[in-house]
Amino acid sequence: MPFLSSIDKVFKDIKYFGDDNSVSSLHLFFGNMDLPPSSYHDFLEELWDEEEEPEEIETMMKAAPYSHHQYLDVFSKVKSQKLPPHHTCDHHIKLEGSLPPVGVIYSLSSQESDTLTAYISENVEKGFIWPNSSSTGAPVPFVKKKDGSLCLCVYYCKHNAVTRKNKYPVPPIKQLLTVFNGSSILCKIDLCGAYNLLRIREGDEHFTCFRAKCCNYEYFAMSFVLTNAPVSL
């Protein structure tokens, strides 16, 4: 398939150029691709359909009981790092009124620039984000963690202000806890990147746009701090 061969070329060049200019190189290759938007979606779907590594399958088969082998893909670390397919529970963004204003592009320190470059390269390769030309876009500030590293935050405050709120009723915690009354064995499931396991509904992706120093990017997987995200989960 010509499109996939082009993408292979892009990904090889991402790894070849390295962190110093990977973003600009990535933007250059995407800009030279004369492909319809539907091709991007085809590529993202094919990322999910790739086979797991044989070593991972063997490890999962040893860890899971035989009766659960039909659900091995649920435990796949490979698939947890790729964009999942669309489902009926995709995150829907419905705006009330006009689009939010375009956010500013902040000046970045050397550390912030490196963090942004690494974030974009990693998430484009996973299929979680993609370059776009949306007429809106949220700014990207950074928050310093306790260990000195930086956390990238997309500031969706103005986007959330014009998004229709989903008032779906959530049962009280006390009512939910009564389900476990009398139980002697409890199981806890730790989902890997739970937010990224939900897709943005097709057609709503441009509402999630954030502004980087060289290009705008939109999310295909649900991002943090979007209003209604807890309801979607």
Residue 132 covered by a domain = yes
Please, which pLDDT band fits residue 64 given cuts at 50, 70 and 90? confident
Q: How far apart are CA 69 and CA 84, in angstroms?
A: 20
What pLDDT score was predicted for residue 50? 52
Give the gyration radius of the chain's Cα atoms: 20
Dihedrals phi, psi of 68, to nearest 5 degrees? -105, 5
Residue 97 covered by a domain = yes
Q: How far apart are CA 143 and CA 112, in angstroms?
A: 10
Q: Which residue has the higher pLDDT, 73 or 47?
A: 73
Please, which pLDDT band fits residue 204 given cuts at 50, 70 and 90? very high
CATH no. for residue 209? 3.10.10.10
- Model confidence at 16: pLDDT above 80: no
pTM: 0.68
Residue 94 covered by a domain = yes
At residue 216's C-alpha, the angle toward residues 213 and 221, to 5°, is: 125
Q: Lowest-confidence range among 50-54, 70-74, 79-83, 195-199?
A: 50-54
Q: Which residue has the higher pLDDT, 192 or 157?
A: 157
Residue 58 covered by a domain = no
Residue 207 covered by a domain = yes
Q: What is the percentage of the chain residues whose pLDDT exceeds 90?
A: 25
* Whole-number average pLDDT of the chain: 77
Q: How far apart are CA 130 and CA 196, in angstroms?
A: 14
Q: Which residue has the higher pLDDT, 183 or 210?
A: 210
What pLDDT score was predicted for residue 42? 54
Q: Which domain holds residue 113?
A: 89-169+188-233
Per DSSP, 23 falls in state: H
| Domain total in the chain | 1
- Model confidence at 47: pLDDT above 80: no
pLDDT average, residue stretch 111-139 = 91
Dihedrals phi, psi of 91, to nearest 5 degrees? -75, 120
What pLDDT score was predicted for residue 13? 41
- Model confidence at 196: pLDDT above 70: yes
What pLDDT score was predicted for residue 190? 72
- Model confidence at 18: pLDDT above 70: no
Q: What is the Cβ-side half-sphere exposure of residue 42, based on CA atoms within 13 angstroms? A: 11
Residue 144 host element (H or E): strand 142-144
- Model confidence at 24: pLDDT above 70: no
Residue 35 covered by a domain = no
Q: Is 211 helix (H, G, I), strand (E, B) or coil?
A: strand
Strand partners, 211: 216
Please, which pLDDT band fits residue 5 given cuts at 50, 70 and 90? very low
Residue 43 covered by a domain = no
